[in-house]
A and B are shown apart, each in its own frame.
Chain A
Amino acid sequence: MGGMHGFGPVEPEPDEPPFHADWERRVFALTLAMGATGEWNLDASRFARESQAPGAYLGETYYEVWLAGLERLLADRGLVAPEELAEGRSLAPPRPLARRLEAEAVAPTLRRGGPTVRATERPARFGVGDRVRAREMNPRTHTRLPRYVRGHAGEVVAVLGCHVFPDVHAHGGGEDPQWLYTVRFGARELWGEAADPAAAVSVDAFEPYLEPA
Chain B
Amino acid sequence: MGHDHGSELSGVQRRVRALESVLVEKGYVDPAALDALIETYETKVGPHNGARVVAKAWSDPEYRAWLLADGSAAIASLGYAGRQGEQIVALENTPEVHNLVVCTLCSCYPWPVLGLPPVWYKSAPYRSRAVADPRGVLREFGVELPADTEVRVWDSTAEVRYLVLPMRPADTDGWGEEALAALVSRDAMIGTGLARA
The answer to whether residues A61 and B129 also contact, given A1-B104, A9-B140, A103-B32 and a CB cut-off of 8 A, is no
What is the CB-to-nearest-CB distance from A162 to chain B, in angstroms, rounded to a whole number?
Answer: 12
Is chain A's binding surface mostly helix, strand, loop or mixed? mixed
* Residues B37 and A28 in contact, CB atoms below 8 Å apart: yes
CA distance A46 to B158 in the complex (A): 12
B158–A204 touching, CB < 8 Å: yes
Whether B81 pairs with A202 at a CB distance below 8 angstroms is no
Tell me the complex Cα distance, A49–B122, Å. 13
Q: Which residues of A contact B119 (CB under 8 A)?
A: 13, 16, 20, 62
Check if B84 sits within 8 Å of A46, measured CB to CB.
no
The answer to whether B150 and A25 have CB atoms under 8 Å apart is no
With A85-B18, A90-B22, A100-B29 already in contact, the answer to whether A116 and B159 are too (CB < 8 A) is yes
* Contact of B59 with A by CB under 8 A: no
Q: Chain B residues near A103 (CB, 8 Å)?
A: 30, 32-33, 35-36
Given contacts A2-B132, A65-B1, contact A30 B158 (CB under 8 A): no
Can you name 28 A-B residue pairings with CB atoms under 8 Å?
A7-B129, A10-B140, A16-B119, A23-B13, A25-B42, A28-B38, A30-B23, A61-B4, A71-B19, A80-B19, A80-B22, A86-B18, A88-B22, A94-B26, A103-B32, A107-B40, A110-B40, A144-B158, A160-B158, A164-B159, A184-B152, A187-B132, A195-B132, A198-B148, A199-B134, A199-B153, A200-B150, A201-B152
